[in-house]
Amino acid sequence: MQLQQLQNAFLQTYGRPSEAAYFAPGRVNLIGEHTDYNGGFVFPCALSFGTSLLLAPNTDGVFRFCSLNVSEGVDVPLHKLTEVLPDRCWANYPLGCIAQLVRRGWMPQTGYDLLFSGDVPQGAGLSSSAAIEVVTAFAFSELWQTRLSRTEIALVGQASEHEFAGVNCGIMDQFASAHGKKDYAIFLNCDTMEFQLVPVALRGIKIVIANTHSPHKLDSGAYNARVSECQTALAQLRSVRPDLKNLAELTLADFEACSGAITDAVAFRRARHVVGEVNRTRRAVEALQAGDIELFGQLMNQSHISLRDDYEVTGPELDALAEAAWQVDGVIGSRMTGGGFGGCTVSLVREEAIPAFIHSVGEAYTARTSLTADFYIAEIADGAHRL
């Protein structure tokens, strides 16, 4: 939606014009899944679709949350800005960010009218939640002159998701939304927050996202269960490696040498995925920098197989899309992206093969699942900014 349309919508909603407008993108992760909360590497990029926020202060002492994507608005008085809303209310995502800022000492002296509008497909695993968190944290950080860095803004969003949405997510989604840069992906060490912007020059190859329309639900409990299972593996490994801070520190050789300490079979498979995925992510970034796109694609495929067999977060819909993509000429690599349990795949596809890819994969997917997939050709975009 264009800015003028958003401004008209704000005027219609609140009866007066907005005073500022902001945008934060969703993200797609090219490789490095379920490694972020294990202290590992990820390789996401920001997308051209995301969440816009228009706002203006009011004199009523109330934060009014409205969204063009949700029918119900929510009013929160100033004295309740740090309280979680009941019934998994959508406004917990932006409210949680405001609460984090209030707890850091920036107590607003006035209320605000807020209007959100997002074009990230809901439930697709492309970080619509991170986009609304980061746009809120970025906007109020600027308005209240907090001088927070983009990394600190990402951490505000992560804390909001932990405390107000009940999802023990890692930092990747918020970090990509805050730090994204057009035509670059972010090679991020989630333990140290050190990162490198890596040019994505694919030369005749496009990033194609396929939406299963089987919504992924991080708050279903399955995501938090994976976090717990990794913690179990880590605790057992510390019986022989007491210095071990997180699973991602282990090389493949390290894991082979000490993995016998993991007595829980499920925790063993979760740890094996994490260690392997960290290794694959390093190799994939090196391959991209060396111009070896074929190796990058092979590592994407291996990532999906590990997420399917060891981490068990793909499911029949994501498997159907990835496995169909692997059969199409011109596909360099394909894998699930995001938390899993539904959502999207990301594929690298030669431009001339895209029509055949969409037709062939779409038909195969419907035949296996009776669902219809949507396909988006992704553009890599900038992170949070004022409009």
Residue 366 neighbours by CB under 8 Å, 6+ apart: 372, 373
**pLDDT band at residue 168 using 50, 70 and 90 as cut-offs:** confident
Question: Average pLDDT, stretch 75-94?
Answer: 95
Q: Which residues pair with 347 in a beta bridge?
A: 208, 334
**pLDDT band at residue 82 using 50, 70 and 90 as cut-offs:** very high
Whether 76 maps to a domain, the answer reads yes
Whether 180 maps to a domain, the answer reads yes
Q: Which CATH number covers residue 102?
A: 3.30.230.10
Residue 253 neighbours by CB under 8 Å, 6+ apart: none
Whether 329 maps to a domain, the answer reads no
Among 69-78, 114-123, 223-232, the minimum mean pLDDT is found in: 114-123
Question: Average pLDDT, stretch 44-51?
Answer: 94
pLDDT at residue 73 greater than cutoff 90: yes
Catalytic, out of 36, 75, 87, 173: 173
Mean pLDDT of the residues in the chain = 94
Question: Average pLDDT, stretch 154-173?
Answer: 92
Euclidean distance between CA atoms 237 and 172, whole angstroms? 25
Q: How many CB atoms lie within 10 A of CB 98?
A: 27
pLDDT at residue 220 greater than cutoff 70: no
Whether 10 maps to a domain, the answer reads yes
Whether 203 maps to a domain, the answer reads no
Whether 163 maps to a domain, the answer reads yes
pLDDT given for residue 338 in this prediction: 87
CA distances from residue 327 to 31, 120, 136, 357, 360 in whole angstroms, order as listed: 20, 28, 42, 9, 9
Task: Verify whether residue 329 is a known catalytic residue.
Answer: no
pLDDT digits (tens, 9 = 90+) for 177-204: 999 999 999 999 999 999 999 999 888 9
Per DSSP, 84 falls in state P
pLDDT given for residue 124 in this prediction: 67
pLDDT digits (tens, 9 = 90+) for 12-30: 999 999 999 999 999 999 9
Whether 55 maps to a domain, the answer reads yes
Number of domain units in the chain? 1
Torsion from C-alpha of 278, 284, 287, 289, nearest 10 degrees = -90
Whether 193 maps to a domain, the answer reads yes
pLDDT digits (tens, 9 = 90+) for 328-353: 999 999 999 988 888 899 999 999 99
Q: Is the dihedral of CA 328, 332, 333, 337 positive or negative?
A: negative
pLDDT digits (tens, 9 = 90+) for 297-332: 999 999 999 999 999 999 999 999 999 999 999 999
pLDDT given for residue 167 in this prediction: 83
pLDDT given for residue 145 in this prediction: 94
Torsion from C-alpha of 227, 346, 153, 92, nearest 10 degrees = -70
In degrees and rounded to multiples of 5, residue 175 shows phi and psi of -65, -45
pLDDT given for residue 111 in this prediction: 97
CA 116 to chain centre: 18
Residue 150 in tokens: 């983009």
Euclidean distance between CA atoms 170 and 175, whole angstroms? 10
Residue 124 in tokens: 């697709």
Residue 117 in tokens: 């509008």
Domain that holds residue 39: 3-198
**pLDDT band at residue 217 using 50, 70 and 90 as cut-offs:** low
Residue 258 in tokens: 């000490």
Question: Average pLDDT, stretch 251-278?
Answer: 97
**pLDDT band at residue 120 using 50, 70 and 90 as cut-offs:** confident
